[in-house]
Structure 1
Amino acid sequence: MDLQNAFDTTGKVLFGQPVGKLSDFKEYLSETLLPYQTKKSFLSGKSVTLTNPSYPADAKFISQDEMAQLKFQPLKTNEIKDIDSLLSAVRERVVFCGNKMLGRNYEVFDVDDCVDCTNVISSNNVYNVKNGAYNSFLREAESVFGVFGVPGASFCMRCFEGVGATRCFESYYMKEIADMYFSFNCVGCSEGIFAFNLRGKRHTIGNLQLEKDKYLALKKKLVAEMGEELRKKKRMFSIVEVAVFGRDKKKIKAPEIAYDSPVPPKVEDAFRKTSKIVLGKELSNIKSYEGWLLTTSKISQKIKGASGKPTYRVDWFPVLKDLPADRLLPLDEALASAKNAIEIGKDEQPSLQEVLSRISKKAFFTFEFVDGYNQNCVDISSIFTGYESYKCFDVTNSKYCAYTCGQADTEHNFGGYMRMLHSQFCINCFNSTKLNSCFEVD
């Protein structure tokens, strides 16, 4: 199956009809990509895709297939007198590599950090993905377009951050959902449209529970409207529109930053231990190194939410960065708000715009997602089992981490950028697997 056929099939699965040429949706589907860079090879001028968005603008870049052309002589002993002379000697030799592909890949183009993929274009940090375009940080997925960070996704379009999504569109922050459209923070749900903060629900529209037959009849009408709008306009409104519908965006107040929590003592101990192992010198008071550790890292921003209580926003997330603070809640309050459902008359068949209008007055959002065991994870918005960590965006089966963008099965990790896997005792490391006692490794 070629990629256009896969896109057509996904359109039929989601909307009952193909929605057009995949290339016409490039701008729309790319909106959910995490920031990345596209540079020119200094050797050939060919395009080079790079997952990491933080490389210096004036650096040199090459494509992976050009590495054999680099022929640098080893440094001489008199060039390595101290750290300054070493940096001076290697500066002219520094070249960053993109278009990286590992394992077995077939029909992949404009990709970086691509492993064992088939029929994938314009994506970065993808593993075992089949039939996809405009995806980032995605693994074990098939027929996915504009998807970020949803392992196990299939037949999805514009889905973002979670685990396990099947036949979903414009859905964010989820775990094991299916047949969901315009959903946010739903777990174990299926067959829902405009669904917010639900747990284990089926056949809902605007959080209103419906009889199966009524739901399916109304679903058919609404998804057909979605498909027709996509077919004609090659885009449609995002889930953020639920939070700003009918409002003057110029009058929406900027978020108010909330207080920082103290650093857990065990995190301080872990930082001292890690710096001693990695740098040979014990560093203390991790807060004094916050600016340095956050140079390239991205974390959640702690703010005052709609109720006045502290919650989080992720101001570097595509699309979701535009959610206003007055629609954000802490997790417990967001779950409680799920009872705020719209009304639909017995014989009523509201349009998509009408349902949007009604749910816009009811829906709240949260960037807090907690699953599994959590012990003393402080000022962290997403936790999938975490222990003694501080000021991270995401902690998954990890412990003793701080000021990190995201990690899984990792410990003693400080600073750095997406995503560290199966690593330990690292400072300012990037997008790596199975590192041990490393500093500034990419």
Structure 2
Amino acid sequence: MDSQEFLCRQNLNKRWQAAAKILFNAELGPLEEYKSWLCETNDPVLRRRSSISNKPVSYVDSNFNGISKYMSFDEIDFNRKFSPLSINDVKDMDSIVSAVQERIFYAGNIILGNSQCVYESTNINDSFYMLNCAKLGDSKYIAHCTLGRLCEGCFGCNGIGESKLCLKCHETYRDVRSFELWRSENCSDCYYSYNLSSCSDCMYSFNMQNKRFAIGNLVLPAEKYAQIKKSLLLQMAQELQKNKRIYSLVELAAKCKTGAAAFSHLKFDAACPHTDLAPIQSAFEQASKVILGKPIGKLGDYTQWLEHNCRSKAYGKSAISGSPVIIVDYSSFFEIPRNRLVKFHEALKIGEIMRISEADATRITLENAHEFLGNIAFFPTEYEQGTNQNTIECATTASSSNCYRSAPCIFSKYCAYCFWPRTSEHLFGCSMIFDSSFCMNSYYSLKLRRCLEMDSCRDCSDSLYCHNLESSSDSMFCFNSKNLRNAIGNAQLPREKYSSIKSSILAQLAEELQSKKSLKWDIYSIGSQQA
């Protein structure tokens, strides 16, 4: 361990100790002792060995084949030149894949922008003092967290936005000083709670808005709340000090029991908006024509191909109404007990009406909390924000339209089978693609146009089968490079020659898709030397 890494760990440990003191009013001990617990419900930060130096390299995705070649981002020689492939090497897909094997390395430890003191992490930009993290930007003093931006002093979190001093929180937005707070926004000082909005000083509470000093959804006088909170925090601290872990919100919910009669008097009315798959089908035809040169048929015929490298989805039923509920493998939502799912409008009504009694609030302890929460601990995994139109089987949407089986859809339109399209349109089978248009089966990239099978790329257009490529256009099978044009295997060609080869490859891909509804090669398999 060099001096910089030692300094990073030392500073993070100090921040951890300060956060523990604020959250639990107690000293918990060194950060390292809690690593296993802090990582339990996060997306794993994977470790591979560099094929160049054998040093450990961090990765964000498990789609890479185990026999592929790996390298750390700081081992890349962006100035390395390659010879053009021979005419026999570019006659078809299999020939090109075979010919470029020596040029294919999948990059990890990707640290971009103005970042310092970042260790055991990848896909980090403009961040400081980060340890064992992935997919985070514009953040500082973060350890054992995945997926977020604009955060500070957070530990063991998954899916955090603009949040500070959060511990074991999931899908937060502008939350501060909270522990085991899930799917909540603009909240502070909350513990073991879910789906809160603009709330503060809440414990064991669910599906509430604009509340304060609540335990089990019951609002108490400030003094009474403070007394119960003090006792519960002491119990939490003692449990952590003894066992170096404590139960999660979803583990708590799994032990809750519900009396069905409690909801027999409630009516849950919900609008059933008109939906139409036709505009999305038309967009798919348009996208395939733009990318491949011709429409390739019905969207539904390509479901398996478009979904195979994206986040999984599951379908459950509301515990209250039996209505279908969509769960996306995001921010640990798959951990939520399926018998506690509800629709969003049902959750809000339950949150307004149901609460524990004052007598129960005085009896609640860390050990017995589940005994009192059975009629309030329900979890909506679907929600909408802003104005949305014709979003079909989309669990979460914000100001989006004409999207199908995608989530969360943020300021996007004409997307299908995608995970987290943001400010994008005409995306199909993509994951975490921002500010992009007309792309298929592309992942973890920014500002792409008319691309197919791209991974970890930025500012690219009219390209396919590229990894870690930046500021390039009209490129194929290029890895770990910048500023390329009319390139195959990182070697630039005369424009006419490149265009001829690309047209032939696109025709082969379109024919294969139309006949098999899938492709032999994807961006992750071309480096494994086997299909």
Given the two structures, how large is their TM-score scaled by the length of structure 1?
A: 0.92
In the alignment, does 2:399 pair up with 1:385? Answer: yes
Percent identical among aligned pairs is 32
Distance 1:373 1:292 in 2: 30
Equivalent residue in structure 2 for 1:14, among 12, 20, 23: 23
- Corresponding position of 1:58: 67
Instruction: Tell me the residue number matched to 1:162.
Output: 172
Among 5, 12, 17, which residue is 2:14 paired with? 5
Look up the match of 2:525: none
Q: Deviations over 1:398-438 (max 9, x none)?
A: 11111011121111111122x11111111111111111111
- Tell whether 2:290 aligns with 1:280: no
2-structure distance, mates of 1:269, 1:155: 46
1:157-236 to structure 2, matched below 5 A, reads: 157-236=167-246
d(CA) in 1 for partners of 2:290, 2:247: 50
1:134 alignment partner in structure 2: 144
Residues 319/297 of structure 1: CA separation in 2 closer, same or farther (3 Å cut): closer
Structure having the higher Rg: 2
Aligned-partner SS, 2:175: strand
Q: In 2, are the aligned partners of 1:180 and 1:193 still within 8 Å (CA)?
A: yes
SS of the residue 2:167 aligns to:
strand
Q: Aligned equivalents of 1:79 and 1:392: distance in 2? A: 38
After TM superposition, list the pairs within 5 Å mapping 1:337-352 onto structure 2.
337-338=350-351, 339-345=353-359, 348=362, 350-352=364-366
Which of 362, 370, 381 in structure 2 is aligned with 1:356?
A: 370
Q: Check whether the contact 1:41–1:48 (CA below 8 A) recurs between aligned residues.
A: yes
Aligned to 1:333: 346
> Are the aligned partners of 2:134 and 2:145 in contact in 1 as well (CA < 8 Å)?
yes
- Which residue of structure 1 lines up, in the alignment, with residue 424 of structure 2? 410
Residues 22 and 347 of structure 1: is their aligned pair in 2 closer, same or farther, counting only changes over 3 Å? Answer: closer
CA-to-aligned-CA distance 1:84-121 (integer Å, 9 cap, x gap): 32222123432100001111222110110111111110
Q: Which residue of 1 aligns with 2:411?
A: 397
Long gaps (5+) in structure 2: 1-9, 258-273, 456-531
Q: Distance in 2 between matches of 1:245 and 1:303?
A: 19
Matched letter for residue 288 of structure 2: S
Deviation at 1:318, TM superposition (A): 6.5
Q: SS where residue 348 of structure 1 aligns?
A: helix
The range that moved more, 73-82 or 420-429, is: 73-82
Call closer, same or farther: CA 1:318–1:58 in 2, change over 3 Å: farther
Letter in 1 for 2:357: E
- Compute the TM-score of the two structures, normalised by the length of structure 2: 0.77
State yes or no: 1:426 paired with 2:439.
yes
Displacement, 1:366? 1.1
Mapped to 1, the partners of 2:450 and 2:85 lie a distance apart of: 24
Give the one of 236, 248, 270 matched to 1:238.
248
The corresponding residue for 1:32 is 41
Q: Is the 8 A contact 2:415 2:426 kept in 1?
A: yes
Are the structure 2 counterparts of residues 299 and 264 from structure 1 closer, same or farther at C-alpha, using a change threshold of 3 Å?
Answer: farther
The residue type paired with residue 380 of structure 2 is T
Stretch deviating more after TM superposition (115-124 or 89-98): 89-98
Contact in 2 for aligned 1:155/1:168 (Cα 8 Å): yes
Q: Which has the higher relative contact order, 1 or 2, with Cα contacts under 8 A spaced 6 or more apart?
A: 2
1:296 aligned to which of 306, 309, 320: 309
CA contact (8 A) 1:242 1:360 kept: no
**SS at 1:74's partner residue?**
coil
| Contact 1:340–1:363 (8 Å) recurs in 2 | no
Please say if residues 364 and 372 of structure 2, whose CA atoms lie closer than 8 Å, have aligned partners that are also in contact: no
Deviations 1:7-28 (A, max 9, x none): 0111111111231111111111
- Between stretches 277-286 and 29-38, larger displacement belongs to 29-38
| Residues 114-123 or 318-327, more deviating | 318-327
CA 1:137–1:348: 2 relative to 1, 3 Å: closer
Whole-angstrom distance in 2 between the partners of 1:267 and 1:18? 54
CA distance in 2, matches of 1:112, 1:211: 46
- Out of 58, 67, 71, the residue aligned to residue 49 of structure 1 is 58
Q: Which runs of 4+ in 1 moved over 4 A?
A: 69-72
Is there any run of 5+ residues in structure 1 with no aligned partner, and where? Answer: 248-260
Q: What letter corresponds to residue 347 of structure 2 in structure 1? A: A
Q: Which amino acid is the alignment partner of residue 360 of structure 1?
A: G
Q: Output the CA distance in 2 between the equivalents of 1:346 and 1:364.
A: 18
Task: Identify if the C-alpha distance between structure 1 residues 300 and 385 changes in structure 2 by more than 3 Å, giving closer, same or farther.
Answer: farther
Residues 1:263 and 1:31: Cα distance change in structure 2 (over 3 Å): farther
Q: Secondary structure at the match of 1:155?
A: strand
The answer as to whether partners of 2:136 and 2:147 remain within 8 angstroms in 1 is: yes
The one of 365, 376, 379 aligned to 1:365: 379
Match in the other structure for 2:517? none
- Hey, what's the Cα distance between the residues in 1 that align with 2:88 and 2:398? 50
Q: How far 1:182 sits from its partner (Å)?
A: 0.8
How far apart are residue 347 of structure 1 and its match? 9.3
Summarize deviations over 1:233-259 as a string: whole Å, max 9, x none. Answer: 111001112322167xxxxxxxxxxxx
Deviation at 1:262, TM superposition (A): 7.7
- Equivalent position SS for 1:167: strand
Give CA-to-partner distance per residue, 1:152-177, whole Å, 9 cap, x none.
01000111113211111111111211
